[in-house]
Amino acid sequence: MVRTPCCRAEGLKKGAWTQEEDQKLIAYVRHHGEGGWRTLPDKAGLKRCGKSCRLRWANYLRPDIKRGEFSQEEEASIINLHAIHGNKWSTIARRLPGRTDNEIKNHWNTHIKKHLIKKGIDPLTHNSLDGKPSNHPETSKDKSSVYQEEHDQNSNNNKSLGSSSARLLNRVANRFGKRIINHSALSDIIGSGGPFTSHTTSTTSASECEKSTSSSSTPNSSNLHMILDATPLSSSTFSNDTYASLMYDKVFDDIEDMTGFSSRCLNDEDFLTLDESCSKNTLFMRELAMILQEDKNEATSFSDSHVRPINEVDNYSFEGIDNWFG
């Protein structure tokens, strides 16, 4: 079998597209739909490589493409998403409706990158160029106030027992079941009973966590929720402060700093995998926080006493969860 070239080398046009070519391409795609790019040029009467046609359509002619300046919200999202995914432009583009990977890539390289450097932020690592971690206002909170908030939060949790860990778990599993995440860490988080469900088997505060020497102690999800909740997904302004706030990329560090559930709460192996998971799955952690928030909201309006919290189920093991993510 001899592989035919992707496009004929002879007679193919390159460079800028003319209006006439655009019209031909639009007409063809409207009539036949997307796909079959290899044969499209011949059928559509275009002297272009199929690849070129696909690119022209995807980056310019597609009807759902949003043209014009990037809004501040869009730029903030790009920065956030870049901190999570790096140069995965297509991944970033999927989160920004109407924007193409190419457009985002260009905008990053020509505008945002320079802007970040000007602000003293390394666009690669999202840390300060002087080597210091970026200064997220929320992460610089005084620890004691954080712990006070945590205490208050726990008090509230105990008042809203209507929230079901089982339901929460199902929702998390449904949303993240196909993703590569640290299922052990997730089991730990959920295993603590959900942020708004009291439980007796897990540590419930940083101080208790510190006291514990057991490797089976679990992180306190109330703490986690509070931290993630304080991390903005986007910013409506573009001041220096909010720039700094956008530059959060060390979720795990924050969790460690503010809750103290790090190595004191986990054995070495769990600690390493959680660390890795947090740094690789910041998006997941944020979305988990959103689920937890939704769970909290539901708890106030939905009483489901017929569903038993997971931690109250006799002989419950997290094998089921682990299977989901395994």
Q: Within 10 A of 297 (CB to CB), how many other CB atoms are there?
A: 12
Minimum distance from residue 120 beta carbon to DNA (Å): 18
Minimum distance from residue 113 beta carbon to DNA (Å): 9
Residue 311 · residue 200 · CB < 8 Å: yes
- As to burial, measured by CB atoms within 10 angstroms (0-12 exposed, 13-18 middle, 19+ buried), residue 125 is middle
Q: Looking at beta carbons only, is 55 or 290 nearer to DNA?
A: 55
- Residue (of 234, 281, 226, 212) closest to 259 by Cα position: 226
CA pair distance 200, 57, nearest whole angstrom: 58
Q: Looking at beta carbons only, is 34 or 269 nearer to DNA?
A: 34
- As to burial, measured by CB atoms within 10 angstroms (0-12 exposed, 13-18 middle, 19+ buried), residue 236 is exposed
- For DNA (CB under 7 A), the number of binding residues is 41
Which residue from 111, 141, 151, 280 is in contact with DNA, where contact means CB under 7 A? Answer: 111
CA pair distance 7, 50, nearest whole angstrom: 7
Minimum distance from residue 62 beta carbon to DNA (Å): 11
- As to burial, measured by CB atoms within 10 angstroms (0-12 exposed, 13-18 middle, 19+ buried), residue 266 is buried
Q: Is 115 in the site for DNA (CB under 7 A)?
A: no
Q: Looking at beta carbons only, is 15 or 155 nearer to DNA?
A: 15
Which residue from 4, 140, 213, 315 is in contact with DNA, where contact means CB under 7 A? Answer: 4
Q: Is 58 in the site for DNA (CB under 7 A)?
A: yes
Which residue from 37, 252, 261, 325 is in contact with DNA, where contact means CB under 7 A? Answer: 37
Q: Is 23 in the site for DNA (CB under 7 A)?
A: no
Q: Which residues bind DNA (CB under 7 A)?
A: 1-4, 6, 13-17, 35-39, 48-52, 54-56, 58-60, 87-91, 101-103, 105-107, 109-111, 114
